[in-house]
Structure 1
Amino acid sequence: MGFALLVLPCRSKIKYVLFPQVQTNFPALTLKSTIKSMSEEKLPFTGFSSVSIHGNQNKHPNSAHITPIYATSTFTFDTAQQGMERFDGQQEGYIYSRWGNPTFTDAEKVIEALECFNLKDSNGAPLQVKAILHASGQAAMTTMFMANLKPGDKILSHYSLYGGTQELMLKVLNQTGVETIIVDLRDLELTERTLKENPGIRIVHIETPANPTIQCVDIEEVTRIAKRYGTLVTVDNTFATPYLQQPFKYGVDFVFHSTTKFLNGHGTAIGGVLLGRDIEFMNTRATKWHRLLGGNSNPFDAFLLLQGMKTLEIRMDRHCSNAVETAAFLEKHPHVEKVNYTGLSSHPDFKTAQKQMNHPGAMLSFELKGGIESGKNFIDKLKMCVRAVSLGTVDTLISHPASMTHYGVAKEHREKYGITDGLIRMSVGIENLPDILNDLDQALSTT
């Protein structure tokens, strides 16, 4: 028996360890077969990052380590019979990239695994959901609404929504005969009374934390009430990500993300995803509407999404730790009137956030003394933080909702929902914390 020398780094010292070289009498074919069968066994993942990196567990041609960009508009058939069976759904396989693509599939599988990580269904088995990747969060939301609603139906939602969502409801869906009712869903008695008085409500749509006031709705309690009235519940989980919040845990029917944001994390691609608990519905009606509306993703954006999700946990940890310190700094600053951050005990939804989120997150907003002029001056004087809409990228993004994301929302509606002229929204990045605070301080102090 011989010995092999293995060099192990150990901080500043080098360790030398002798391991015996074990010889085997197994034939090469037997050994390869054993290795193959062992490698095909799937281990249960114990951590979120493992799911983010290995959640799809698909093998690709030519032993590709990273999911390839399947830059093809269509796919071929070996025979006419095979083509017929794929169109008929008798055989799995790809047909046309508007209908599906291997790069999309891998991204969908990872997001399914993240939203269901450590969750069980009513029978105690691992929870299964179906994801459909879209060209944007708006496309994913449109598919869900169009697949579930008909003229005469109603949507129940709450104050302070992403401007695009509110405009979709009030300016597009209303033209199809769908009415939207807006109330404060944090008021559970009001929520139940509204459901009772409006039997036509088909969907309760929740965005929590909400954009940009960071209001939090109790997912569990609203879902419990909605189910008594046979109503579907949908949750926009973009701000929280599945790392901080898993709405399926509370029995909701659908979950959305703008994957453009934290899931991608680098501002390199637009995307969205719709996830549903009813897999038959997702494979049939939702899939049909998705294909007919044409809101499909594209292979390159799906590839970028896959790369971004691999670092989701470590990015979110830094985003969140920076946000906590930033919120505390702003709350004490003399030029700041109010800070909206669920990690502050002063936030009215502090307890709700504690109940359903693993951390308050990376999003906050704050009200400047002096209204719109102070807000514009502050934004103009930033030196490192980026003046931009969107959120969830590694750099800190700061925007002025009244003139940007919510410009299309009537002023009286904005102010009613807490989106005032002096409100600033901030997506806290992963830069070094002192640099973020120094930039904020110099911009605020000269406002």
Structure 2
Amino acid sequence: MSKHFETQAIRNQTERTQFLEHSTPLYLTSSFVFEDAEEMRASFAEEKQRNLYSRFTNPNTTEFTDKIVAMEGAEAGYAFATGMSAIFTTFAALLNAGDHVVSCRSVFGSTHSMFTNFLPKWNITTSYFKVNEVDNLESLITNNTKILYVETPTNPAVDILDLALLGKIAKKHQLIFIVDNCFATPYVQKPIQFGADLVIHSATKLIDGQGRVLGGVTVGSKDLMREIYLFARNTGPAMSPFNAWVLSKSLETLAVRVEKHAENALKLAEFLEKSEAVEFVKYPFLKSHPQYKIAKKQMLLGGNIVAFEIKGGIAAGRRFLDALKMCSLSANLGDTRTIVTHPASTTHGRLSEEDRLQVGITDGLVRVSVGLENVEDIIEDLEQALSF
């Protein structure tokens, strides 16, 4: 099999059936049959690798997972019902009561809730470091620290963390280094090359790319994935065969889609930098981005998320959303359609201003998930909305 990304995405397929289909069929079955009692015994004893029950394995979920494993340069993986089920199951499988996690403070809201509201129920604690305070990270590590966790680029402020530096710190302290690679995708960034042990994706976003299905996936070292698989097998957060089938087909166009997303996003970011209604713009491949050099070192492209500060705070942000004519107002991202969100008045509206500022969410911050429409139409819509 070719090692080229696009070829892996298209040609890594489930073995053809007797019907010699060109495209992998959908396996909507809850279970699989055995030839005899011995085959059934050997299969359940895991002496023989085969499909048993779709909560464990299914040809569609296996195909999807195998593609992500190949794309990320991992050894094994498991597909989940959602991105958050991938995150929670990964942590639940690897942590025990009394363990400690060190995480960047700039993480997805539900991940933050997991760290602060739910893991403490099992006496699992988390310490945060800020994006611009990586130098203080090692001071947070204790004898019971087990995991170092980050997402980069971050949500929603599009900050960049130095994966190579974090990988060295994790190795020095024998920590499991986990990276949420959702914003980048395996096409743009491969955290395992920089020392990550596990990589997590919300496949709902750019991997699907069309706002159709939910999904999550964790890939990484064989030993760690074995623990995650056993936990997931018994607790049931598995991806459905239908969603896996859709997502596997989506991967066939991931490279060309992300190329165009990034091309549009850079052009939009360059336009916004010139707008008098905008305080600042953050996009990884803009030279003005604080971590531009790091982004260029570890990312192939800048991704599809642009963040900018609109002058006038929360009120201006809401007026801007109301004035948009084409772009969608949604909490999702990574769609073919451009999506605009004002975090301070929506997704993070219940947080205090102090808590929002901790993760870079200022009053006028706007997040744009740049789609695949003609970039001139995207720019025109934002330009007229900024004039209100």
Fold shared, TM-score > 0.5 on shorter chain: yes
Partner of 2:69: 112
Q: Distance in 2 between matches of 1:381 and 1:163?
A: 27
Q: 1:405 to 1:129 in 2, by over 3 A?
A: farther
Equivalent pairs, count: 388
Contact 1:163/1:408 (<8 A) preserved: no
* AA of the residue aligned to 1:321: E
Matched, 1:153 2:111: no
Distance 2:126 2:338 in 1: 34
| Aligned partner (choices 376, 379, 385) of residue 437 of structure 1 | 379
Distance 2:335 2:186 in 1: 16
Paired position in structure 2 for 1:202: 146
Match of 1:180 in 2: 126
Name the structure 2 match of 1:372: 314
Distance 1:349 1:167 in 2: 27
Higher relative contact order (CA closer than 8 Å, sequence separation 6+):
2
Match of 2:330 in 1: 388
Question: Partner of 2:284 in structure 1?
Answer: 342
Shift, 1:158, TM fit: 1.1
Pick closer, same or farther for the CA change 1:296–1:274 going to 2, 3 Å: same
In the TM superposition, residue 56 of structure 1 has moved relative to its aligned partner by 3.5
1:217 equivalent in alignment to 2:161 = yes
By how many angstroms is 1:339 displaced? 1.1
CA distance in 2, matches of 1:227, 1:186: 21
Distance 1:410 1:146, change over 3 A: farther
Within 5 Å, give how 1:301-316 maps onto structure 2: 301-316=243-258
Equivalent positions of 1:1-400 (< 5 A) are 43-45=1-3, 47-56=4-13, 58-116=15-73, 128-195=74-141, 198-277=142-221, 279-283=222-226, 285-400=227-342
Q: For the pair shown, which has the larger CA radius of gyration, 1 or 2?
A: 1
CA distance in 1 between partners of 2:174 and 2:365 (Å): 37
Q: Return 290-299 or 97-106, whichever deviates more.
A: 290-299
Two-structure CA RMSD over aligned residues (Å): 1.5
Distance 1:66 1:273 in 2: 22
Unaligned runs of 5+ in 2: none
Give the match for residue 120 of structure 1. none
Code of the aligned partner of 2:192: F
CA distance change for structure 1 residues 431 and 297 in 2, over 3 Å: closer, same or farther?
same
Equivalent-residue separation in structure 1 for 2:348 and 2:25 (angstroms): 38
- In structure 2, what residue type is equivalent to 1:276? G
CA distances 1:40-99 after superposition (whole Å, capped 9, x unpaired): xxx434x32111111336333421211111111111222222222111101121121111
1:382-417 Cα distance to aligned partner (Å, 9 max, x none): 111111111111111111222333346554211222
Distance 1:225 1:109 in 2: 29
Aligned equivalents of 1:306, 1:400: Cα separation in 2:
31
CA distance in 2, matches of 1:59, 1:132: 22
Q: Distance between the aligned counterparts of 1:204 and 1:409, measured in 2?
A: 25
Give the drift of 1:299.
Answer: 1.1
- TM-score after normalising by structure 2: 0.96
TM-score, normalization by structure 1: 0.84
**Structure-2 separation of matches of 1:362 and 1:262:** 9
Separation in 1, partners of 2:297, 2:139? 24
Partners of 1:322 and 1:378 lie apart in 2 by: 20
Q: For 1:409 and 1:70, locate their aligned partners in 2 and report how far apart those are by CA, in whole Å.
A: 44
Q: Provide Cα deviations, 1:253-312, integer angstroms capped at 9, x if missing partner.
A: 1000000111111111000000021x13323x2111112221100011111101111111
* In 2, Cα distance between equivalents of 1:317 and 1:329: 19
Q: Aligned AA for 1:183?
A: F
Shift in CA distance, 71/250, structure 1 to aligned 2, threshold 3 Å: same
Report how far residue 192 of structure 1 moved.
Answer: 2.0
Name stretches of at least 5 consecutive residues in structure 1 with no aligned partner. Answer: 1-42, 117-127
Q: Identity of counterpart residues, as a percentage?
A: 38
Aligned equivalents of 1:326 and 1:229: distance in 2? 41
SS at match of 2:107: coil
For the 8 Å contact 2:318–2:345, the answer to whether it is kept is no
- Is the Cα contact below 8 Å between 1:382 and 1:439 reproduced in 2? yes
Is the alpha carbon distance of 1:307 and 1:325 closer, same or farther for their aligned partners in structure 2, counting shifts above 3 Å?
same
SS in 2 for 1:63: coil
CA deviation vs aligned residue, 1:294-345 (integer Å, no higher than 9, x gap): 1100011111101111111111111001111100111111111111211122
Kept in 1, the 8 Å contact 2:130–2:358? The answer is no
* Greater Cα shift, 397-406 or 254-263: 397-406
Take 2:377 and 2:69, find their aligned partners in 1: how far apart are those partners? Answer: 36
SS of the counterpart of 1:187?
A: helix
Contact in 1 for aligned 2:314/2:345 (Cα 8 Å):
no
